Structure 1
Amino acid sequence: MSASMSVVNDEILIEEVRSRSILYDKSHPSYYLREIKARVWREVSQALGCPGQGFTLRWKNLRDRYVKEKNKYIPSGSGYEAVLPRWPLMGIMSFLDPYIKTRQTSSNMSEEPLSSSLLDDTLPTTSVATSSSSLDNMLPTTSVATRDGVNVRFTFAFCV
C-alpha cells in the first residue's frame, strides 16, 4: 500500500471516528463502557468495509501522533522557534483539540539562582574529636549551619 493510499484510508478512519464521539470524548456517558465501545468499533469496521480490530490500534497511533505533532508547536519558553506543521493529517485531526488536555511541564531549574554565600553557609563540616575523655568525644560529628544561623550537630556511631 502506498503512502498516499494510507493517508486516504486514515482520513476515512478519522471521519468515521469523528462521527462517534464515544470513541474520543471522555465526558461521554458511555466512554468507559467497554461493551458499548466495542460495538461502536464494530460499526466503524463495517463502515470501512474491513473486518477486524486493527482500527483501534491505528486510531490510537493516529491520536498519539497528533498530540505529539501538536506539542511540537506549543511554545516551551526555551527559546525554540516553532516550525509550521508538516504532518498531512494535522488539519483533519484538529477536532480533537477540545478533548486533549496538555500536561503542565516542570523544570528542575529554580527561578532565581542561589547566591554563593547561601551555598557556603549550608555546607556541612565534619570534624573528629580527639579528646578521649568520653566515648561521645571520640565519635565523628557533623555541624550544619542553617539559613537562620542555627548550628545543628549530628553525631554518627558505626558498629564494626
Structure 2
Amino acid sequence: MPTITLVQGDITREHADAIVNAANSSLLGGGGVDGAIHRRGGPAILAECRRLRAGHLGKGLPTGRAVATTAGDLDARWVIHTVGPVYSAAEDRSDLLASCYRESLRVADELGARTVAFPAISTGVYRWPLDDAARIAVETVKTAGTSVAEVRFVLFDDRAHQAFAARVG
C-alpha cells in the first residue's frame, strides 16, 4: 500500500512523477482542475491530447478510464487524465469513481511513477458529495495493488482537506 499524504493547495504547483487531471472526456481542456492543468502545463499537454483524440481515443476518454500525456511545463513527468462520473442520486456510480483512482494507478505503474498527486475527482462541477468522494478515493487507493510509493491527495480548500483527513486516519 502506498503512503497517503494530504496537501491543501494547488495541484499544478506539486512536484510528483505524475499529476492526475480530473479531465472531461474530450481531453481538450475545460474548467476547474482540468483548465488549470492545461493552462499551467502549456501547449504540449493539449498537443498530446489532440494526438490521442486523432488516434485510438477518437470518441474521447470513457468515464472511469485513464491515459497519460507529457506534463509539459508542470513539475512532473506525466499528467494522467481520468474522467470522473457526474454524481447522480438516482444511480450508484461509485464504481466509476473508484475506477478513476484504480485506472490512474494502473497507468502510473505502467509508466514507473513512484509519486502520484490526485485531486478530489468529481467533487467540483460533477457535484459528488465530498465525504463520499473522500471515502471512495481513500478506500480505493488503500486496496489498489500498486507499485506507487506515495499517493498525495492535493485538496483545494480546508473543507476537502478535512473530509480526506477523516478517511486517512
Same fold judged by TM-score > 0.5? Answer: no
TMscore range, shorter length: under 0.3
Q: TM-score, normalization: structure 2?
A: 0.23
Looking at both structures, which has the greater relative contact order when contacts are Cα pairs under 8 Å and sequence separation is at least 6? 2
User: Between Structure 1 and Structure 2, which shows a larger proportion of strand residues?
Assistant: 2
Q: Which has the larger radius of gyration?
A: 1
